[in-house]
């Protein structure tokens, strides 16, 4: 899907790179560590999964998404908790107000409605009985259609043709798992694209590899 | 699904927002303080780039291990005790004088947690995510990594659950160093492929 998260090649994000601090700590402030832990726990408490979590991050409004990594993690934790009816809309804002000395009424605890999607086990690697549709060396083209739901095909690769360089382990399909409609595991392929195919004749000389789910691809 | 207008007022400072969320979940017994502390402490102290540095130093000094690492990254890394979330399927890419790999996640910030810990700011920065898939040589040069035109550049965009670790080139002049001394030279940034490991 289109959105702020799909940053690859987007001119509006081009700008100077930040300085690298080789000793940068995991968290820069106490709240960042807390946001990290709360997001992982919110995912668990709300009955979500990794893909639903990523999709929640993609749904964070753009200014907030761009305000920082743990800011968007915190927002996505709230989105998952609202989605699943663990928290009522406005509950966090009201509590925040009361924590800083306000006296506002907090909304009642809602009736939870957690998603129920059968899982084929822990993690995201799965066995798929059908043989892979593509083999190493095959030329494949990425789909051009743009779903309005979660997917993992960056916009810069839509409609581009590359070569399969490896068949990766089959995995849960993020497109359906993110929306709790099923794991639908698929074969995944490392697909190598020439820079010129992606960016035109004047591109720098390099290759780019994406790991793409079978349904994103067709034989070129 | 939740409409974005339903989410909390972003003018609340994030520290207060985190505290509010934490108190709401704690008072209902949905989470506990000990688990929160364990998560934080794990990624502050036990899981970080020092793990990946051990993998790299071992590969530099043990040819058999290096072969195993390049053939089956997940298994070879697990023999050193490093596995877990965001490391389900590890692929190790060897940088040489002729080939240079660099890793990004343009759609979010996927990163191999068991070997590198949580991603640093530059990896999550919009400029890095946007630029490295379009002008990797310019990005690397901006960070002081000049690659000649004869060096093949390969960019990996982490779009599935495969996670990549770059095995940097061992710097010249380190022949007499021990595995432990070598591990101390290996930086997080070189294991993503944006810099090279420098001799002391």
CATH of the domain at A66: 1.10.472.20
Q: Which helix H or strand E contains B100, and what residues bound it?
A: strand B99-104
Contacts of A152 (CB under 8 A, 6+ apart): A174, A175, A212, A213, A216, B107, B159, B160
Answer with the one of A68, A99, A130 that is the final residue of a domain. A99
Residues B36 and B129 in one domain: no
Q: Which residue has the tokens 């520290």?
A: B15
Could you give the CA distance from residue A67 to residue B106 in angstroms, rounded to a whole number? 17
Of A187, A141, A181, A143, the C-alpha closest to A161 is: A141
* Inside any domain, residue A122: no
Mean pLDDT of chain A: 96
Q: How many domains does chain B have?
A: 2
Could you give the CA distance from residue A113 to residue A68 in angstroms, rounded to a whole number? 30
Q: Are the C-beta atoms of A141 and A187 separated by less than 8 Å?
A: no
Chain B CB contacts of A153 below 8 Å: 159
Interface of B with A in 138-167 (CB under 8 A): 138-139, 142-143, 149, 152-162
* Inside any domain, residue B4: no
Residues B21 and B82 in one domain: no
Q: Would you call A17 and B43 a contact, using CB atoms and an 8 Å cutoff?
A: no
**Interchain CB contact of B40 with A (< 8 Å):** yes
* Inside any domain, residue A210: yes
Q: Three-class SS of residue B56?
A: helix
Could you give the CA distance from residue A193 to residue A138 in angstroms, rounded to a whole number? 12
* Inside any domain, residue B61: yes
Of A12, A4, A9, the C-alpha closest to A200 is: A9
Chain A CB contacts of B19 below 8 Å: 31, 34, 96, 99
Q: Which sign, positive or negative, has the C-alpha torsion A3, A8, A14, A17?
A: positive
Min distance B94 CA to chain A CA atoms (Å): 15
Report chain A's terminal Cα–Cα distance, integer Å: 23
* Inside any domain, residue A114: no
Residue of B nearest to A9 (CA): B130
Say yes or no to pLDDT of A192 above 70. Answer: yes
Q: How many domains does chain A have?
A: 2
Domain that holds residue B40: 12-45
Interface of A with B in 155-194 (CB under 8 A): 156, 168-169, 171-172, 188, 190
**Interchain CB contact of A154 with B (< 8 Å):** yes
Q: Three-class SS of residue A175?
A: helix
For residue B27, give both structure tokens. 């008072």
Domain that holds residue A50: 11-99
Q: Would you call A17 and B28 a contact, using CB atoms and an 8 Å cutoff?
A: no
For residue B161, give both structure tokens. 């659950």
Min distance A25 CA to chain B CA atoms (Å): 7
10-residue averages of pLDDT along chain B (200 residues)? 54 93 98 98 97 98 98 98 96 98 98 98 98 98 97 98 98 97 98 97
Q: Which pLDDT score is estimated for A148?
A: 96
Q: Are the C-beta atoms of B159 and A153 separated by less than 8 Å?
A: yes
Q: Which pLDDT score is estimated for B3?
A: 53
ipTM here: 0.97
Q: Three-class SS of residue A155?
A: helix
CA atoms within 13 A of residue B159's CA, in its CB half-sphere: 31
Min distance B192 CA to chain A CA atoms (Å): 12
Of B131, B127, B142, B140, the C-alpha closest to B166 is: B140
Residues B78 and B139 in one domain: yes
Of A76, A85, A87, the C-alpha closest to A114 is: A85
**Interchain CB contact of B92 with A (< 8 Å):** no
Residues A214 and A155 in one domain: yes
* Inside any domain, residue B6: no
Could you give the CA distance from residue B196 to residue B157 in angstroms, rounded to a whole number? 19
Residues B145 and B168 in one domain: yes
Residues A85 and A27 in one domain: yes
Residues B41 and B94 in one domain: no
Residues B97 and B17 in one domain: no
Residues of B identified as active-site: 105, 108-110
Min distance B96 CA to chain A CA atoms (Å): 15
pLDDT-derived band at A121 (thresholds 50, 70, 90) equals confident
Could you give the CA distance from residue A169 to residue A188 in angstroms, rounded to a whole number? 6
Q: Are the C-beta atoms of A141 and A161 separated by less than 8 Å?
A: yes
Q: Which residues pair with A193 in a beta bridge?
A: A208
* Inside any domain, residue B2: no
Say yes or no to pLDDT of A118 above 90. Answer: no
Residues A204 and A153 in one domain: yes
Q: Would you call B120 and A21 a contact, using CB atoms and an 8 Å cutoff?
A: yes
Q: Are the C-beta atoms of B113 and B85 separated by less than 8 Å?
A: yes
Residues A21 and A81 in one domain: yes
* Inside any domain, residue B7: no
**Interchain CB contact of A146 with B (< 8 Å):** no
Could you give the CA distance from residue A217 to residue A145 in angstroms, rounded to a whole number? 11
Q: Which pLDDT score is estimated for B10?
A: 61
Q: Would you call A91 and B24 a contact, using CB atoms and an 8 Å cutoff?
A: yes
* Inside any domain, residue B73: yes
Q: Which residues pair with B90 in a beta bridge?
A: B163
Strand segments, DSSP code E, in chain A are: 139-142, 161-171, 186-194, 207-213, 217-219
Percent share of chain A, pLDDT over 90: 95
């Amino acid at each position: 899907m289109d959105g702020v998260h799909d940053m690859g090649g987007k001119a509006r994000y081009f700008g100077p790179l930040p300085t690298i601090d080789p000793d940068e700590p995991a968290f820069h402030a106490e709240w960042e560590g807390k946001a990290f832990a709360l997001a992982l726990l919110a995912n668990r408490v709300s009955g979500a999964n990794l893909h639903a979590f990523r999709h929640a991050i993609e749904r964070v409004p753009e200014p907030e998404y761009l305000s920082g990594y743990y800011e968007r993690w915190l927002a996505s934790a709230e989105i998952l908790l609202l989605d699943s009816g663990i928290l009522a809309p406005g509950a966090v804002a009201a509590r925040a107000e009361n924590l800083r000395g306000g006296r506002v009424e907090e909304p009642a605890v809602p009736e939870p409605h957690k998603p129920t999607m059968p899982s084929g086990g822990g993690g995201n690697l799965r066995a798929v009985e059908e043989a892979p549709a593509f083999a190493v060396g095959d030329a494949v083209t990425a789909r051009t259609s743009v779903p309005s739901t979660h997917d993992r095909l960056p916009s810069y690769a839509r409609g581009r043709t590359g070569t399969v360089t490896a068949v990766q382990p089959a995995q849960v399909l993020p497109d359906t798992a993110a929306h709790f409609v099923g794991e639908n595991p698929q074969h995944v392929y490392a697909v190598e694209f020439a820079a010129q195919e992606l960016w035109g004749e004047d591109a720098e000389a390099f290759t780019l590899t994406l790991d793409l789910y079978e349904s994103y691809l067709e034989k070129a | 699904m939740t409409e974005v207008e339903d989410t909390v007022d972003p003018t609340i400072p994030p520290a207060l927002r985190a505290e509010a969320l934490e108190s709401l979940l704690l008072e209902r017994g949905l989470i506990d303080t000990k688990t929160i502390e364990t998560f934080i402490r794990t990624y502050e102290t036990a899981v970080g780039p020092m793990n990946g540095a051990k993998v790299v130093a071992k590969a530099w000094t043990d040819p058999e291990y290096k072969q195993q690492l390049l053939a089956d990254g997940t298994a070879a890394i697990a023999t050193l005790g490093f596995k877990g979330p965001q490391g389900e399927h590890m692929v190790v890419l060897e940088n040489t004088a002729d080939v240079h790999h660099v890793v990004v996640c343009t759609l979010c910030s996927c990163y191999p947690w068991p070997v590198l810990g949580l991603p640093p700011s530059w990896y999550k920065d919009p400029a890095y995510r946007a630029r490295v898939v379009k002008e990797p040589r310019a990005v690397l040069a901006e960070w002081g990594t000049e690659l000649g035109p004869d060096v093949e550049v390969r960019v990996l965009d982490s779009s599935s659950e495969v996670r990549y670790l770059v095995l940097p080139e061992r710097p010249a002049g380190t022949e007499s160093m021990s595995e432990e001394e070598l591990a101390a030279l290996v930086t997080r940034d070189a294991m993503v492929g944006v810099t090279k490991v420098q001799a002391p």
